[in-house]
Structures are given as structure tokens and as C-alpha cells.
């Protein structure tokens, strides 16, 4: 029996060492790539035409080779096709993964960002070991492990008006897997100017959308959206939330469209938009307009003849990082450090948390009163009654006639400013000092309480 136990224990130890070794190898691979390729825009030569598949390739791709629609000719076309992947996040990871597995010739990977722990639930090419590394190197390392025959070209930089035309020109098909409006206009205009089909997908919450722009007589992004949306109407994944499987489904659909274009089968969603509602399990395909003769990019007399300043055009930055609003004066705000000091001094006050309920369920400061901003915006009667009652109770601890200051807090310090504006407009609170806490609970977690969750 003792012999059996030793076998099991040694097996466990070997498995653990192997895991450690594999993690170290991953880090080494990424480090080597980073070392070689961090500084330069790698020049790439056109992929040479391919006349036949090798014995190994026939075995590897056999399940798709026997599809008459694809066949040897389709596989050879895939092997000589190059695809530019703009964004290696929730969409770009599954897209690149399936394209590499299917034997695409070359993948250009563009992303300026690094892997964060909060990416791992949906950005499936990145592992725990590479947190903090550039996403393009992490993705390239994963893709090489999956299929060493696929050439991966990482570009650890943002796609900009200065680089986009040059980059797009080197690839046959472009996949927009980005996460912000300026980049979507930039990729579109570059594809129109250089003449490349653009497979574009997006996802948020439980929904996704996918279409193909600038293919055949189909419309481009600007035909459908001549004007950018107002910046305040755009929600990012950090604020709105997104389920990883939803970006996964959309990234796979996007890979499918890219494969069909690359193999010569033609896309399904040129001139139509597929809507996916994951909560209801619905797919719905809608018919889009044709190419607009008066389109600024692809019309008969285009006004977009070169790339422009897209952040200026859209009034927002080319990232999906949360915006930092400045609605209040410095006197109307306190830092987390000052608030902590006030809290420790026992000075009577009311802390008002204006985050949505779902975020309060994640974490909260136990002494805070919770009223979501939405209810304050509506001047919800019950909520205002609750606030009035809390002020009345809080005042009992203050000296006669003294007013009870209110501090408003949220996740990052944007909604709290909006709430202060609303509270200032309420006549009942005329004599009350209302301030917000700069940086919100995430600043509290970063500077005051290291055990407080970040999300």
C-alpha cells in the first residue's frame, strides 16, 4: 500500500513541476518575443502563392478539407491570406484563435494595451502568467503554441491615423475587434481608402452585433453612421459589463466571415447586420441600406481623402478606459485621504453611495446610505424621503442648528459629481454642504484599504 501512495505522491509532484515549467516557458516565450519585436514595425513581404498541401497539412486540416465548399483550393487560399486583427481583447482573442487553428497564413495583431486580471474572463488567449504583458505578445505566444505554421506579427501600439494606411495595406482582410468609436471610424476609413473588406463586430452586456463593411457594393461604416454618437451615449465594457461568452460568440462569427472571404466563398453579412441577444437566445438579421452615393468615405465624391483626427471627430478618446468628468469645483470635492481623516475623527456626516444595486452587492462601505443615481435623477419620492430621514437621524448627533454635511461616493468619481449637482438643486438641501469623493471607491481601494475589492 505504501508503494501505491508513493506513486501517487510522485505523480502529483511531477504534475505540479510540469505546470510550473509550462508557465515558465510561456513567460520566456513572451519575453523573447517582446525583446525581439518591441521597437519596430516589422516589414512583411507578401505571402508567396502555394501550389499544394503537405502530408502534415492534409492530416491537420482534414476535417475541413473534406468540405466540398472549402476543399484543397480553399485551404490553399487560407494559407496565403493575411488578416489584420485590430484589438486583441474579447473579440480579437477567439477570432485569432479560430483563424490560426484553421490555417490562415498570417495574422497581424494590433493592440496598445497590456493584459489585466479583469480581462481574463473573456480574453481567452491570455493566461494568468502574462498579466501586465502586452496583449499582442501574449496572444502571439498562445497562437504559436496552437499552430506554429501561422505567422503572427504583433504590433504593440495603438492604430493611429499615422500608421493605419500603411498597416492595412499589408493585409488582405481587416477584422475590427476594437472597443471604441474613434478607432471604428479610423479602421473604416483606412479600409475604404486602401480597398480592403472590413469584418466588424461589437459586444456589450448580453448583446452583440456583426456586419461586413466595404465589400462589393455593400455599405461602409460611414454609410450607416455618417455622424458619431454623442460621447456621453457610449458605454464601455467596464461600465456596462459584458459576458465573455457573448464576445466569444461574436468573435467566432467574425472569424467565420473572415474565413469565407479569405477562402473565396464570400461573406454572409455584407449589407446586413446580425443582432445577437444572448439573454433571449435570439439571432436576428436585418437588412442594411446600400452604399450611399453621398457617403463621405466611399461615395461618389468622397470628402474623406486622407485619415483625420478621429478623437476630435468623435469627441472621445481612442480607448475604452473610463472617462474622468470634471463637473464640480475643487471646493466641492474631497480626496479619499481627507474623507478617511474625517471618518476617523468621528465627525458627524452622511455618506451617500449612488452606485447601481448590482455594484453595491459586489462591495460597499457598511456605513453608507445607498440611493442609486438613477433614482436621484428622477427625483424619486421614496428615495428623497429616505435621504431626508437619514439627514434627520444624522443631525441628532450634531450640535443644535449645525447642518450635516453629505459626502457622495460612487465607483470612480463621475456619477458622484452628477449626484452632487442634483442634490444642490434640491431646495430642501439649501443649507447643506454636499461634496463628492474624488476617485470613488476604487481610489479608496487603491489608497486607503487594500482589502477593499476592485472591479
Partner 1 sequence: MGVSCELGFLNMAAPLSVEVEFGGGAELLFDGVKKHQVTLPGQEEPWDIRNLLVWIKKNLLKERPELFIQGDSVRPGILVLINDADWELLGELDYQLQDQDSILFISTLHGG
Sheet with 350-353, strands from edge to edge, namely: 333-334, 434-437, 406-409, 350-353, 369-370
3-state secondary structure of 318: coil
Which residues contact residue 154 at a Cβ distance below 8 angstroms, ignoring those fewer than 6 apart? 33, 37, 109, 134, 136, 137, 139, 140
363 annotated to bind ligand: no
Radius of gyration of the chain measured on its C-alpha atoms = 27
45 annotated to bind ligand: no
Q: Tell me the closest approach of the beta carbon of residue 253 to partner 1, in angstroms.
A: 13
32-35: which pairs have CB atoms within 8 A and are 24 or more residues apart?
33/137, 33/140, 33/141, 33/154, 34/133, 34/134, 34/137, 34/156
Q: Give the torsion sign (CA, 380, 385, 390, 394).
A: positive
If residue 131 lies in a helix (H) or strand (E), which one and from where to where? none
Which CB atom, from 79 or from 243, has the smaller least distance to partner 1? 243
Which CB atom, from 341 or from 379, has the smaller least distance to partner 1? 379
Q: Which residues are known catalytic residues?
A: 237, 410
179 annotated to bind ligand: yes
Which CB atom, from 224 or from 448, has the smaller least distance to partner 1? 224
Q: Tell me the closest approach of the beta carbon of residue 335 to partner 1, in angstroms.
A: 30
Secondary structure in 3-state letters for 76-129: HHHHCCEEEEECCCCCHHHHHHHHHHHCCCEEEEECCCECCHHHCCCCCCCCHH
**Count of beta carbons in the 10 Å neighbourhood of residue 383:** 16
CA 17 to CA 11: how far, in whole Å? 10
Which CB atom, from 273 or from 390, has the smaller least distance to partner 1? 273
Angle between helix axes 244-262 and 71-79 (nearest 10 degrees) is 110
CA 420 to CA 60: how far, in whole Å? 62
The pair phi, psi for residue 232, each rounded to 5°, is -75, -10
Q: Tell me the closest approach of the beta carbon of residue 168 to partner 1, in angstroms.
A: 18
CA 299 to CA 27: how far, in whole Å? 48
Which CB atom, from 361 or from 400, has the smaller least distance to partner 1? 361
Q: Tell me the closest approach of the beta carbon of residue 163 to partner 1, in angstroms.
A: 19
111 annotated to bind ligand: yes
Check: CB of residue 340 under 8 Å from CB of residue 443. Answer: no
Which CB atom, from 277 or from 338, has the smaller least distance to partner 1? 277
Q: Tell me the closest approach of the beta carbon of residue 51 to partner 1, in angstroms.
A: 37
Check: CB of residue 269 under 8 Å from CB of residue 212. Answer: yes
122 annotated to bind ligand: yes
Q: Tell me the closest approach of the beta carbon of residue 137 to partner 1, in angstroms.
A: 19
264 annotated to bind ligand: no
Q: Tell me the closest approach of the beta carbon of residue 27 to partner 1, in angstroms.
A: 26
314 annotated to bind ligand: no
What are the residues binding partner 1 (CB under 8 A)?
87, 89-92, 176-181, 184, 201-205, 207-209, 224-230, 232-237, 240, 242, 247, 273, 275, 277, 284-289, 320, 374, 377-378
298 annotated to bind ligand: yes
DSSP state of 133: S
- Rounded to the nearest 5 percent, the helix, strand and coil shares of the chain are 45, 15, 40
Q: Which residues are annotated as a binding site?
A: 90, 111, 118-122, 135, 179-180, 220, 223, 295, 298
Q: Which residues are annotated as a binding site for ATP?
A: 90, 111, 118-122, 135, 179-180
Q: Which residues are annotated as a binding site for Zn(2+)?
A: 220, 223, 295, 298
Amino acid at each position: 500500500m505504501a508503494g501505491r501512495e508513493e506513486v501517487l505522491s510522485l505523480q502529483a509532484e511531477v504534475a505540479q513541476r510540469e505546470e510550473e515549467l509550462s508557465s515558465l516557458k510561456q513567460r520566456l516565450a513572451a519575453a523573447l518575443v517582446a525583446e525581439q519585436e518591441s521597437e519596430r514595425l516589422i516589414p512583411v513581404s507578401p505571402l508567396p502563392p502555394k501550389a499544394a498541401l503537405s502530408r502534415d497539412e492534409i492530416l491537420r486540416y482534414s476535417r475541413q478539407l473534406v468540405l466540398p465548399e472549402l476543399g484543397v483550393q480553399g485551404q490553399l487560399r487560407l494559407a496565403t491570406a493575411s488578416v489584420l486583427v485590430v484589438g486583441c481583447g474579447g473579440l480579437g482573442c477567439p477570432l485569432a484563435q479560430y483563424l490560426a487553428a484553421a490555417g490562415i497564413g498570417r495574422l497581424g495583431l494590433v493592440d496598445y494595451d497590456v493584459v489585466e486580471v479583469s480581462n481574463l474572463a473573456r480574453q481567452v488567449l491570455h493566461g494568468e502568467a502574462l498579466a501586465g504583458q502586452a496583449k499582442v505578445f501574449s496572444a502571439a505566444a498562445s497562437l504559436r503554441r496552437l499552430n506554429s505554421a501561422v505567422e503572427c506579427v504583433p504590433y504593440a501600439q495603438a492604430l493611429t491615423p499615422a500608421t493605419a494606411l500603411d498597416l492595412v495595406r499589408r493585409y488582405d482582410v481587416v477584422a475590427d475587434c476594437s472597443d471604441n468609436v474613434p478607432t471604428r471610424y479610423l479602421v473604416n476609413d483606412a479600409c475604404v481608402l486602401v480597398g480592403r473588406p472590413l469584418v466588424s463586430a461589437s459586444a456589450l452586456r448580453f448583446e452583440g452585433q456583426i456586419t461586413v463593411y466595404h465589400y462589393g457594393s455593400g455599405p461602409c461604416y460611414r454609410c450607416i453612421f455618417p455622424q458619431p454618437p454623442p460621447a456621453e451615449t457610449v458605454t464601455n465594457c467596464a461600465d456596462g459589463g459584458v459576458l465573455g461568452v457573448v464576445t466569444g460568440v461574436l468573435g467566432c462569427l467574425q472569424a467565420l466571415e473572415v474565413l469565407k472571404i479569405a477562402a473565396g466563398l464570400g461573406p454572409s453579412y455584407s449589407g446586413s447586420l446580425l443582432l445577437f441577444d444572448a439573454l433571449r437566445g435570439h439571432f436576428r438579421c436585418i437588412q442594411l441600406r446600400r452604399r450611399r452615393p453621398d457617403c463621405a468615405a466611399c461615395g461618389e465624391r468622397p470628402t474623406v481623402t486622407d485619415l483625420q483626427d478621429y478623437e476630435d471627430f468623435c469627441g472621445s478618446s481612442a480607448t475604452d478606459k473610463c472617462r474622468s468628468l470634471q463637473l464640480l469645483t475643487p471646493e466641492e470635492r474631497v480626496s479619499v485621504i481627507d474623507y478617511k481623516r474625517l471618518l476617523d475623527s468621528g465627525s458627524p456626516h452622511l455618506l451617500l453611495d449612488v452606485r447601481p444595486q448590482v455594484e453595491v452587492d459586489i462591495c460597499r462601505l457598511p456605513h453608507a446610505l445607498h440611493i442609486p443615481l438613477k433614482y436621484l435623477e428622477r427625483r424619486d419620492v421614496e428615495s428623497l424621503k429616505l435621504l431626508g430621514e437619514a439627514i434627520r437621524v444624522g443631525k441628532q448627533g450634531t450640535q443644535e442648528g449645525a447642518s450635516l454635511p453629505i459626502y457622495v461616493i460612487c465607483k470612480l468619481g463621475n456619477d458622484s459629481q452628477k449626484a452632487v449637482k442634483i442634490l444642490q438643486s434640491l431646495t430642501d438641501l439649501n443649507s447643506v454642504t454636499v461634496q463628492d469623493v474624488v476617485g470613488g471607491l476604487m481610489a479608496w481601494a487603491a489608497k486607503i484599504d487594500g482589502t477593499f475589492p476592485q472591479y
